[in-house]
Amino acid sequence: MMPITGNDSFILSVGGGNFGSKAAILAKKWGAVNIVIDSRSDCDACDIADVIVEDVDDLDFYLQKKIQLLIADGMDALINILDIKTPDIVVPAVYGHLAGRVAKRFLVSSGFRVSGCNSALREVLRNFPEECISLVDKPNSVMITSYMPEEMLCREICSQPSICPVTKLEKENPMHELLSNNIENKVDHLILLHSRLLDDSGGVGGIIGKDIVAMLDYLKLIKTSDNLAIVTSCSCHGIVNFFQCEE
């Protein structure tokens, strides 16, 4: 579970839909500094926000017990906020892979031409347990994994115990370990962000903000012709972007 420090925490939700709003309500209960980003002025978080702004400069990074909603592009706003103050927790509540999108945008802004790396994807798929593969998007070199069979659904509230309450099967390894073990020697660089539950109710997960900062710092070391995998994973599910960097 996420190491919450109480009302001095800073919780940032990227996405103001259902999950982002749930995280914001939870953070408000804790009394944390609580910011939600969404590009839509009619997102769900509009109904629960105490303050709505359209510029990062108008955010109060010390305002506790209130929900601040920033109407802006999530990727750009996240990168800007990381330069100002590192969130304790970042909740990825947008469509797709937040870490993958942020990493690609950062690499492109650093002067790289970034494309998918299907050769690395194929190499990982060769030995990855087939029953844990939920989706393979070859055009974008994305892989989604899960211990939950396609025909079954996770419980909405789940603490991710070692024995799944739906399938009744025990996980031999957490998904983040399974992904790490199968990817680490097949790419030049592996960056894995571990998604943890915000509390023991199991409704919402997040990533430690310092881990995202560390990812961006590590990306400064990438060289031309390097390939890399960006992974976000909890104990049960995961998503991977495979990237190739060129000049």
Pairs from 128-135 (Cβ < 8 Å, separation ≥ 24): 128/182, 129/178, 132/175, 132/178, 134/237
Contacts of 140 (CB under 8 A, 6+ apart): 116, 241
Note the pLDDT tens digit of each residue in 169-201: 888 899 999 999 999 999 999 999 999 888 766
Residue ranges of the domains in the chain? 10-95, 100-193+210-246
Q: 239: which strand partners?
A: 144, 232
How far does the chain reach from its first CA to its final CA, in angstroms?
Answer: 40
Q: Is CATH 3.40.50.20 the classification given to domain 10-95?
A: yes
CB atoms inside a 10 Å sphere around CB 44: 20
Give the span between the Cα atoms of 194 and 91, in whole angstroms. 12
pLDDT by residue for the chain (247 residues), tens only, comes to 555 545 679 999 999 999 999 999 999 998 999 999 999 999 999 999 999 999 999 999 999 999 999 999 988 999 999 999 999 999 999 988 999 999 999 999 999 999 999 999 999 999 999 999 999 999 999 999 999 998 888 887 888 888 888 999 888 899 999 999 999 999 999 999 999 888 766 578 899 999 999 999 999 999 999 999 999 999 999 999 999 999 8
